Amino acid sequence: MRTQIAIVGAGPAGLLLSQLLHKGGIDTIVLERRSRTYVEARIRAGVLEPGTVDLLTHAGADGRMRREALIHDGLAIAFGGRIVRVDLKALTGFPVTVYGQTEITQDLIAARLGHGGKLVFEAENVALEGFDGAHPHVSYESGGQTHDIACDFIAGCDGFHGVSRSCVPGSALTLYERELPFGWLGVLSETRPVDDELIYSRNERGFALCSMRSKTRSRYYVQCPISDAVEAWPDDRFWDELRRRIPAGAAERLVTGPSLEKSIAPLRSFVAEPMAFGRLFLAGDAAHIVPPTGAKGLNLAAADAGVLAAGLIAYYRDGDRTGLDTYSETCLKRVWRAERFSWWFTAMTHRFDDDAFGRRLQTAEFDQIMGSRAAATAFAENYVGMFRAG
């Protein structure tokens, strides 16, 4: 078998890259370890920057999003009885779009298959070879048989625990990492959201986030010890804890119901540099992780896919290697902006045990956003992802 680009991983980065390359006349094969059902049901992020919406539009995978997504002009940050609304639209000119990663994944898979795209689900033991030379190839097992794909380039879009990054010699990568001592417990429920916009809430008991997927489906998160098991959080305990951590008005409006999904995600900051090695390009979570507070993970994955697709299209169309040679540098600028913002917003809103000094700093940070239009604008620019990279 032969293709131009072998893509490892059918998450948002791999699927969007495949679809953007298809639009540019470039052939790809996507290899995914999990089943289609599993990939299409996975619940993850929900807030899209305008740049991500543009890329999905460019990819021709925006039809359902245009009909079903919610447009949010602002969000609220609550802080021990006080609350500030950040008017994203007024401060930056841009709103954010609330639309689930689950839906994006379904839409991109439908778009790929609708155009005859080659997606291999349940591809086992994927192995990347020869990418430090001129003839890369990728092997995998499926249905008891081993297959081999020869290609021009490999895109490693297989997430934080994938195989691609670990194929790069350790001496060629520099890893930057910070772990946080807590996780997020997330619940999805078929209930009316407490508000029309998101509420990020810093509380003495810990952080909470009120989000949504539609006007009838809510997504809530509470900060919890990373050692907790989901079984320790029956629905009643979750709803009681959430109610205690969010502003009084929202708590009164909270409608509870059975959880459709409940999971605990670790919080971590991680960057692998560079994001390219020979003919292998890493994109999305395979190269970097942010704590979810800034809603940046999915948006960074989409941005990487956009930069890589543009570089590959210029290479095949005009023989211009510039976009490929600068891929890592271009992406890392945005990545580090998002790392900084996500770390800062997490530090401002989460409970860190026994840190009285830190708590005073959190209050000062909140006062700054509340009292300064410049500070609120800086926050809004980072949240909507509209800033000059240089």
Q: Which residues are catalytic?
A: 72, 200, 292, 296, 383
Burial class (CB in 10 A: 0-12, 13-18, 19+), 40: middle
Report if residue 168 touches ligand FAD, rule: CB under 6 A. no
Q: In the bound complex, what is the minimum distance in angstroms from residue 70's beta carbon to ligand DHB?
A: 11
Residue 196 token pair? 């029309």
> Which residues within the stretch 242-271 sit at the binding site for ligand FAD (CB under 6 A)?
263, 265
Pattern 105-134, binding to ligand FAD, x per CB under 6 A?
A: ------------------x--x--------
Q: Which helix (H) or strand (E) holds 7?
A: strand 5-8
Pattern 348-367, binding to ligand FAD, x per CB under 6 A?
A: --------------------
**Residue 31 interacts with which of ligand FAD, ligand DHB, none, CB < 5 to 8 Å by class:** ligand FAD
- What Rg value do the Cα atoms of the chain yield, rounded? 21
- Does residue 308 come out as left (phi exceeding 0), alpha (psi in the -120 to 50 range) or beta? alpha
Q: In the bound complex, what is the minimum distance in angstroms from residue 211's beta carbon to ligand DHB?
A: 3
Q: Reduced to 3 states, what is the DSSP secondary structure of residue 263?
A: strand
**Residue 293 interacts with which of ligand FAD, ligand DHB, none, CB < 5 to 8 Å by class:** ligand DHB
Question: Which segment (40-48, 54-62, 120-128, 231-239) binds ligand DHB by CB under 6 A?
Answer: 40-48
Report if residue 297 touches ligand FAD, rule: CB under 6 A. yes
Considering only 136, 156, 284, 323, the residue that binds ligand FAD (CB under 6 A) is 284
**Residue 250 interacts with which of ligand DHB, ligand FAD, none, CB < 5 to 8 Å by class:** none
Cis status, amide bond into 274, omega within 30 of 0: yes
Contact 221, 77 (CB under 8 A): no
Contact 275, 328 (CB under 8 A): yes
Question: Which segment (38-46, 236-244, 343-351, 352-360) binds ligand FAD by CB under 6 A?
Answer: 38-46
Considering only 47, 76, 242, 271, the residue that binds ligand DHB (CB under 6 A) is 47
The residue among 9 and 100 lying less far from ligand DHB, judged by its C-beta, is 100
State the number of binding residues for ligand FAD (CB under 6 A).
Answer: 32
Q: Are strands 5-8 and 153-156 parallel, antiparallel or unpaired?
A: parallel
Backbone phi and psi for residue 32, each to the nearest 5 degrees, phi listed first: -125, 130
The residue among 80 and 274 lying less far from ligand FAD, judged by its C-beta, is 274
Beta pairing partners, 179: 268
Report if residue 293 touches ligand DHB, rule: CB under 6 A. yes
Backbone phi and psi for residue 137, each to the nearest 5 degrees, phi listed first: -155, 160
Q: Reduced to 3 states, what is the DSSP secondary structure of residue 267?
A: strand
Cβ-based neighbour number of residue 324 at 10 Å: 19
Report if residue 183 touches ligand DHB, rule: CB under 6 A. no
| Tokens 């990487």 sit on residue | 304
Distance between the two ends of the chain, CA-based, in angstroms?
41
Binding site for ligand DHB (CB under 6 A): 45-47, 198, 211, 219, 292-293, 295
Binding site for ligand FAD (CB under 6 A): 8-14, 31-34, 39, 44-45, 101, 123, 126, 157-159, 162-163, 263, 265, 284-285, 292, 295-298, 301
